Amino acid sequence: MRLYKLAEGFKVKGGDTEITGIVYDSRLTKKGDLFIALRGRRFDGHEFIGDVIKKGAHALCVEKDENYPIPYILVKNTREAMGILAARFYNYPSTRVRTIAITGTNGKTTTAFIIKDMLEFMGEKVGLLGTIHYCNGEICREAERTTPESVDIQRFLKEAEDTGCRFFVMEASSAGIEEKRLVGTQIHTAIFTNFSREHLEYHGTMENYLNAKLKLFREYSPEYSIINEDDPHASLFKENQKNVFTFGFSEGADIRAEIKTISLDGTLLNLHGLIEEENIYLPIPGKFNVYNMMAALLTLHVLKIPVKENLKAIIQSIKGIPGRFEVLKGSKCDINVIIDYAHTPEALENLLESIRTFRKKRVITVFGAGGDRDRGKRPLFGNIAEKLSDFMVITSDNPRNEDPESIIQDIIAGIKGANFITIIDRKDAIYYAIEHAQPGDIIVIAGKGHETYQEIKDKKYPFSDKEISLEA
C-alpha cells in the first residue's frame, strides 16, 4: 500500500513510498515497514528511529517533527494513529467479522472461552484474543498479554477473517482500553462482567480504573451492550447505549438464574426471562461461572444464534478453561485440588465461597500476591482467605522485583488468627498442602492459574501449579 493512501487524513512529510507492513517494535522491523514510534512507560520508540532506518524501514509515524531522512507521518498521539493506520492497512476486518469485546475485573477469560465453545458447538469458526490464547479460527498461540497492541489486533482479525471466522471474541483489559489498543476496531457487542479493586498500580485510583472500563462503551459505540445487572455500577455502563441486555440474579435482569445445587463437577440451575428453562446443568462449578454463562447466552442471542432450541446442548458443550476452577481429582485419600487464577480479592472470595457450599471437610488455600502491584490488595487477600479457609499456606506468587517475604508480611497484616503457615518457595508450599491434607479435603491453589512461569527479578522461570500438584 502506498504511504499517501495509508495515511490519508494525516500530515505526511518527505514524499510517498510503498509500505509492506506496520511495526511498533524496532527489533522486528523489516525492509518496507512503517515504524510507529510509541511512547511507553519504560521506552520511547523515537529513540530507536536510527535503528529502524538502518533495517530498511520505508516510513515512520512520529510525534516529534525532526529532519528524518525517510518519509514520516506526524501525529499528536502515535498510539491512536496506529489503530487507525492498522485498520486501514488490513482493510477494516472488524466491519466484516463481528467482534465481541469483554471487560470487567473478573470473568473476562472464562466468558470469552464459553462464548467460543458455544459458537463452535453451533458450527461457527471463532477467533479469540485473551489472557491464555490468541486463536485465528484454526491455530492457537500462547498469549503475550490480555489485550495486544492495535496492529496485532487488526492482524489477528484479518487472519480470523481469512480462515472463515464470522465472529471474534476478545478480552478488553483496562490498560488496553486506556492505551487505545482497540482504536480501529468496530465493536459489535460489548460485555461488562463486574467491577472491583484491581490494577491501582497502573490507574492510581478506583475512579480512573472504572472510567477506563466505561470507555469501551462510551467511546466505541457498540451495537449491543450486555451488562451484569447485579453489579453496583451497572447503571453507568447502560448510559446512552443503543441496545442493552442484562443478566444476573436480580428480578430486573433480562436473563435471570436460580441456582438449585452446586457441586465440584458443576451447577444445576433454572433460567428465567428472555430464556426460560429448568434443570439446566452447567458443567463448570461456581456461582460466578453462572454469571459468565448468562453473559455468553445473551451474546449468542444478540448474534441471532438460535439459543432456545438448543439450550441444554449448548450449555453442555462448555469445556473446562485452563487454570479457571480447574479440578484435579487425585487418587490420594480422596483429596481434590482446584487450580484457579483468582488474583483479585473479589475473585478469591467468589472462588472460596463457591467451594464452601459443597466441601466435605477442610478447605486449604495456597496463595500469595503479585509483586510490583497494588500493595493494598495484600491484607485483603489475607482477610478473605482466613474467613473462608480452614487452613492457609501463604507463599510466593510472581514476586517480580519485590522481596517475597515482604509481600507475605503484607498479606499477614490482614489475618487475625494463626491458622496458617508461610512457605516462600511455591513448589514447597504446594507439596506441603497436599502432603498434609486429609481425606475429603479440598486444596485451592490460587493466583496463577494457567501460567507456566514464575516471574522473579525480571526473569520468567518455568513453573506450573498444575504440574507441581500432579507431581505431588
What are the pLDDT digits (tens) for 367-387? 999 999 999 999 999 999 999
Statement: residue 352 has pLDDT above 70: yes
CATH superfamily of 93-316: Mur-like, catalytic domain (3.40.1190.10)
Determine the pLDDT at residue 147.
93
Q: Which residue has the cell 489486533?
A: 153
Determine the pLDDT at residue 48.
97
Mean pLDDT throughout 231-251? Answer: 97
Mean pLDDT throughout 440-467? Answer: 96
Is 387 strand, coil or helix? Answer: helix
What are the pLDDT digits (tens) for 43-76? 999 999 999 999 999 999 999 999 999 999 999 9
Residues whose CB is less than 8 angstroms from the CB of residue 110 and which lie 6 or more positions away in sequence, other chains included: 284, 289, 292, 321, 324
Residues whose CB is less than 8 angstroms from the CB of residue 406 and which lie 6 or more positions away in sequence, other chains included: none
Residue pair 426/445 in contact (Cβ under 8 Å)? The answer is: no
Q: Which three cell numbers stand for residue 328?
A: 484435579
Task: Specify the CATH architecture of the domain 3-89.
Answer: 3-Layer(aba) Sandwich (3.40)
Average pLDDT of the chain is: 96
Determine the pLDDT at residue 332.
59
Statement: residue 338 has pLDDT above 70: yes
Residues whose CB is less than 8 angstroms from the CB of residue 181 and which lie 6 or more positions away in sequence, other chains included: 79, 83, 147, 148, 149, 150, 153
Query: Among candidates 80, 96, 78, 6, which has minimal Cα distance to 38?
Result: 78
Determine the pLDDT at residue 238.
98
Residue pair 192/228 in contact (Cβ under 8 Å)? The answer is: yes
Pairing of strands 187-192, 224-228: parallel
Q: Which three cell numbers stand for residue 342?
A: 483468582
Q: Which three cell numbers stand for residue 403?
A: 522481596
- DSSP H stretches of helix in 283-376: 287-302, 311-316, 345-356
What are the pLDDT digits (tens) for 111-136? 999 999 999 999 999 999 999 999 99
Statement: residue 330 has pLDDT above 70: no
Query: Among candidates 432, 433, 372, 377, which has minimal Cα distance to 404?
Result: 372
Give Rg (Cα) of the chain.
24
Residue pair 93/158 in contact (Cβ under 8 Å)? The answer is: yes
Determine the pLDDT at residue 331.
53
Mean pLDDT throughout 432-456? Answer: 96
Mean pLDDT throughout 235-259? Answer: 97
Q: Which three cell numbers stand for residue 253?
A: 435482569
Is 364 strand, coil or helix? Answer: strand
What are the pLDDT digits (tens) for 73-86? 999 999 999 999 99
CA distances from 164 to 125, 137, 224, 453 (A): 7, 7, 23, 33
Pairing of strands 326-329, 336-340: antiparallel
Determine the pLDDT at residue 168.
98
Q: Which residue has the cell 467511546?
A: 219
Residue pair 377/406 in contact (Cβ under 8 Å)? The answer is: no
pTM (2 d.p.): 0.93
What are the pLDDT digits (tens) for 385-415? 999 999 999 999 999 999 999 999 999 999 9
Query: Among candidates 337, 133, 117, which has minimal Cα distance to 125?
Result: 117
Is residue 327 very low, low, confident or very high in pLDDT (cuts 50, 70, 90)? Answer: very high
Query: Among candidates 264, 316, 290, 116, which has minimal Cα distance to 194?
Result: 290
Task: Specify the CATH architecture of the domain 326-471.
Answer: Alpha-Beta Complex (3.90)
Q: In what order do the strands lie in the sheet with 72-74?
A: 11-13, 72-74, 59-62, 33-36, 21-23
Torsions phi, psi of 463, nearest 5? -165, 130
For residue 194, which amino acid is it? Answer: N
How many CA atoms, within 13 angstroms, populate the side-chain half-sphere of residue 385? Answer: 35
CA distances from 173 to 33, 76, 340, 352, 390 (A): 28, 24, 19, 24, 34
Is residue 333 very low, low, confident or very high in pLDDT (cuts 50, 70, 90)? Answer: low
CA distance linking residue 339 with residue 469, whole number of Å: 9
CA-CA-CA-CA torsion sign (132, 320, 428, 201): positive
Taken as a whole, the chain contains a residue count of 472
Is residue 329 very low, low, confident or very high in pLDDT (cuts 50, 70, 90)? Answer: confident
How far from the centroid of its chain's Cα atoms is residue 126's Cα?
Answer: 17
Percent of the chain with pLDDT over 90: 94
Is residue 197 very low, low, confident or very high in pLDDT (cuts 50, 70, 90)? Answer: confident
For residue 195, which amino acid is it? Answer: F
CA distance linking residue 310 with residue 298, whole number of Å: 14
How far from the centroid of its chain's Cα atoms is residue 447's Cα?
Answer: 14
What are the pLDDT digits (tens) for 311-323? 999 999 999 899 9
Question: CB neighbours (10 Å) of residue 91?
Answer: 12
CA distance linking residue 188 with residue 248, whole number of Å: 22
Helices 345-356 and 287-302 pack at an angle, to 10 degrees, of 110
Domain borders along the chain are 3-89, 93-316, 326-471
Residue pair 190/103 in contact (Cβ under 8 Å)? The answer is: yes
